[in-house]
Structure 1
Amino acid sequence: MSRAIRRAVAFIESSFAQPVSLATLAATAGLSVSRFATLFRKEVGISPHRYVCLVRIQHAKRLLRDGVPPCEVAAEVGFFDQSHLGRHFRRAVGVTPGHFVASPEARLS
């Protein structure tokens, strides 16, 4: 992975709970927006937006396992509200946050 993309990934992982724009990520990487988006997708395999969502989902899973209510999880990991979290969570994990917490697999994943 190139140094520019590593910088952007580190930025995402340290500030995922804040709004993260493509322009900000590109500036962090020292690239134009179009070059950054192309290079990120080539090196990481998904779009920057999708990567941000997946990082947020990973943190949401941890908080849900710890017993934090979904409405609080949504705010903590950078989603607008519980509905926004639910849509992205279901798309990434295959179940709603509530079903995730109720499932035995929640403790394993």
Structure 2
Amino acid sequence: MLTEPIQKAIAFIETSFAQPVSLAMLAAAAELSVSRFAALFRAQVGISPHRYVCLVRVRHAQRLLRGGLPPSVVATEVGFFDQSHLGRHFKRALGVTPSAYLAGR
């Protein structure tokens, strides 16, 4: 069960994932100190806040790729710096590159 502060941070991530999201911003959304927030998030969610943001971005990237957008556009739409940044996180999360993901659909 997630506590209210962590739920607030996750809601913030879901609405702001395409923008730069800092640990301080997430802690402020959760109304906790940065160190307390980071520890509580990891304890309740099982991964770091940064990793969670990346997974949310990858999930949204999947949707946009299925919609026909090219990976270079998708990368910036979901908050990654460029296509290679998307590719690294996509492969880490799903085990395949964006192009292999599309080919395997």
User: What is the deviation of 1:42?
Assistant: 0.6
Partner of 1:107: none
- Where does the alignment leave 5 or more consecutive residues of structure 1 unmatched? 105-109
Partner of 2:99: 98
Partner of 1:82: 83
- Letter of the structure 1 residue corresponding to residue 33 of structure 2: S
Give the whole-Å Cα distance in 1 for the aligned partners of 2:66 and 2:104.
10
The CA RMSD over aligned residues, in Å, is 0.5
- Letter of the structure 1 residue corresponding to residue 43 of structure 2: K
Give the whole-Å Cα distance in 2 for the aligned partners of 1:30 and 1:21.
14
With the length of structure 1 as denominator, give the TM-score of the two structures: 0.94
Q: Is 1:46–2:50 an aligned residue pair?
A: no
| % same residue | 71
Where 1:18 maps in the other structure, the secondary structure is: coil
User: What is the deviation of 1:40?
Assistant: 0.2
> Structure 1 runs of 4+ off > 6 angstroms?
none
- Letter of the structure 2 residue corresponding to residue 4 of structure 1: P
With the length of structure 2 as denominator, give the TM-score of the two structures: 0.97
User: What is the deviation of 1:34?
Assistant: 0.4
Give the whole-Å Cα distance in 1 for the aligned partners of 2:100 and 2:5.
38
- Letter of the structure 2 residue corresponding to residue 22 of structure 1: L
Partner of 1:13: 14
- Where does the alignment leave 5 or more consecutive residues of structure 2 unmatched? none
Give the whole-Å Cα distance in 2 for the aligned partners of 1:3 and 1:93.
29
User: What is the deviation of 1:65?
Assistant: 0.8
